[in-house]
């Protein structure tokens, strides 16, 4: 059980670090202050800003396409490394062994993980949190790469006869 609590603490720490980037982005005018709301009235004239609108990127731009491809590659590597680990007699620690041994179910879980990552990135894109949009994929790739390296680096379990 101590391993589970350490894992939960690590995920909680990562979540708290990402929350700092999730603060709503506000754009300021050239004077460095946010404009006040115009006074209410029938003859209110709203000045037209000469500042161009802030540049945003499309969701399926080159950077996101590469990040999502990386998520897919590392999810596939996670599948192969976990299957390799189970074939060598090691026990799975994040999922139960019967889930990992059920290959169609495990493939579905890996695909759902990749889809969830892309969905969260899209949600961050739509709400204007473009740094977090990219950090979700970067964090997913980093975590999966660490798990893949760990799985392939484990020694085979000793089988009793």
Q: What is the pLDDT of residues 35-71, one digit of tens each?
A: 565 556 556 565 666 665 556 778 888 999 999 999 9
Residue 3 lies in a domain: no
Residue 73 lies in a domain: yes
The answer to whether residue 29 sits within a structural domain is no
The reply to whether 35 falls in a domain is no
Strands (E), the chain: none
Number of domains in the chain: 1
Residue 17, both tokens: 């670090």
pLDDT band at 160 (very low <50, low <70, confident <90, very high): low
Supply φ then ψ for residue 43, to 5 degrees.
-105, 40
- The pLDDT value recorded for residue 90 is 87
The pLDDT assigned to 23 comes to 46
On whether residue 71 sits in a domain, the answer given is yes
Residue 119: what pLDDT?
A: 94
Per-residue tokens: 77: 């590597």
Is 38 within a domain?
no
Q: Does residue 20 form part of some domain? A: no
Residue 137 has pLDDT above 90, yes or no: yes
Residue 126 located in a structural domain: yes
Nearest to 136 by CA among 63, 62, 54, 55: 63
Instruction: Output the pLDDT for position 116.
Output: 94
d(CA 145, CA 69): 14
For residue 113, give its domain range: 58-154
pLDDT digits (tens, 9 = 90+) for 5-43: 566 656 665 655 555 555 444 444 555 555 565 556 556
Q: What is the pLDDT of residue 25?
A: 45
Q: How far is CA 73 from CA 1, 77, 83, 132, 141, in A?
A: 31, 6, 15, 21, 9
């Amino acid at each position: 059980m101590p391993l589970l609590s350490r894992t939960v603490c690590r995920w909680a720490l990562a979540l708290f670090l990402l929350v700092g980037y999730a603060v709503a982005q506000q754009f300021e005018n050239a004077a460095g202050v946010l404009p006040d709301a115009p006074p209410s009235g029938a003859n209110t004239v709203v000045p037209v800003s000469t500042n161009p609108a802030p540049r945003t990127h499309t969701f399926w731009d080159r950077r996101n396409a590469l990040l999502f491809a990386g998520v897919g590659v590392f999810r596939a590597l996670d599948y192969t490394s976990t299957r390799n680990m189970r074939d060598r007699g090691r026990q799975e620690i994040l999922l139960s062994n019967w889930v990992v041994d059920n290959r169609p179910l495990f493939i579905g879980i890996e695909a759902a993980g990749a889809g969830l990552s892309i969905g969260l990135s899209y949600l961050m894109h739509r709400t204007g949190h473009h740094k977090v949009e990219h950090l979700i994929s970067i964090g997913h790739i980093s975590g999966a790469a660490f798990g893949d390296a760990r799985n392939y680096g484990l020694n085979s379990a000793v089988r009793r006869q």
